[in-house]
């Protein structure tokens, strides 16, 4: 269907060799986009690219550690060199090196979370969006979290960074809207990814966690890929500055896992 067709578009997706990022890359490639796969590990990038090519898609791999400013700059430069333009930017990669109360977090962990999840997301956007604005078309999706919507005893620092991402999307949407560049957030609930494994891969807590999800199951990476692809597609051409929970209803039910 034309509203969801990404043919002719190039999509740069950070953290796209596993989990939500990989599922999004695969879905966008299936929708016709040329995707740029990026993560810290060269081998993982090559494997993901090979998988997409085997399935008939178009993909390139560029290793990047989003915690490093130089890597981010090189990622954008190499992406434009390979594909001439970036039409879609998915800011998915994030870190969470600490779980526990804010009173115990050290400066190194706090700085790493805020630098990687907020400061460097803005840097990446500022490197990519101006060229989108010159062409009068572009879409950015920042992967936040429903942790942005509430307090947390265990994920406080991460939640702060993800709440900042929501406000970042709102501000950028205002700045770039007249240039037809749209910036939105998705807010995943608990998704079965490696990053969140400690929250779901525990038989003692799994059933309790599940009680917080009205749909009756935890999320899969593909659940988020569909929402992200939608926000990047022509079907969402009049949506900008929004934070879309994709969480099986957890945010309306008062989730208990955090």
CA distances from 181 to 141, 186, 189, 227 (A): 11, 17, 26, 18
Nearest of 187, 189, 206 to residue 198 by alpha carbon: 206
Which pLDDT does position 257 carry in this prediction? 38
Q: Please tell me the class of the 2-190+220-253 domain.
A: alpha beta
Domain boundaries, the chain: 2-190+220-253
Average pLDDT over residues 218-245: 97
Q: Which of 98, 158, 213, 257 is catalytic?
A: 158
Catalytic: 98?
Answer: no
Mean of all residue pLDDT scores within the chain: 94
pLDDT over 60 at 163, yes or no: yes
- pLDDT for 60 beyond 90: yes
* pTM of the complete model: 0.95
């Amino acid at each position: 269907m034309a509203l969801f067709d990404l043919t002719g578009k190039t999509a740069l997706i950070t953290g796209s060799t596993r989990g939500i990022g990989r599922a999004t890359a695969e879905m966008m490639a299936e929708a016709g986009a040329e995707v740029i796969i990026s993560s810290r590990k060269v081998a993982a990038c090559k494997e993901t690219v090979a998988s997409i090519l085997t399935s008939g898609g178009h993909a390139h791999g560029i290793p990047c550690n989003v915690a490093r400013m130089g890597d981010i700059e090189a990622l954008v430069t190499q992406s434009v060199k390979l594909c001439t333009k970036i039409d879609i930017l998915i800011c998915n990669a994030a870190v969470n090196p600490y779980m526990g109360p804010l009173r115990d977090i050290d400066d190194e962990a706090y700085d790493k979370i805020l630098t990687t999840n907020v400061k460097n997301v803005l840097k990446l956007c500022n490197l990519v969006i101006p060229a989108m604005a010159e062409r009068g078309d572009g879409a950015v999706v920042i992967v936040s979290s429903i942790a942005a919507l509430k307090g947390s005893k265990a994920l406080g620092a991460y939640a702060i960074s993800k709440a900042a991402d929501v406000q970042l999307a709102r501000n950028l949407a205002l700045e770039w809207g007249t240039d037809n560049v749209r910036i939105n957030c998705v807010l995943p609930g608990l998704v079965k990814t490696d990053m969140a494994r400690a929250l779901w891969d525990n038989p003692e807590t799994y059933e309790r966690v599940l009680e917080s999800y009205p749909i009756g199951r935890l999320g899969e990476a593909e659940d988020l890929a569909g929402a992200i692809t939608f926000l990047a597609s022509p079907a969402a051409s009049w949506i900008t500055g929004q934070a879309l929970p994709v969480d099986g209803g957890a945010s309306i039910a008062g989730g208990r896992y955090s």
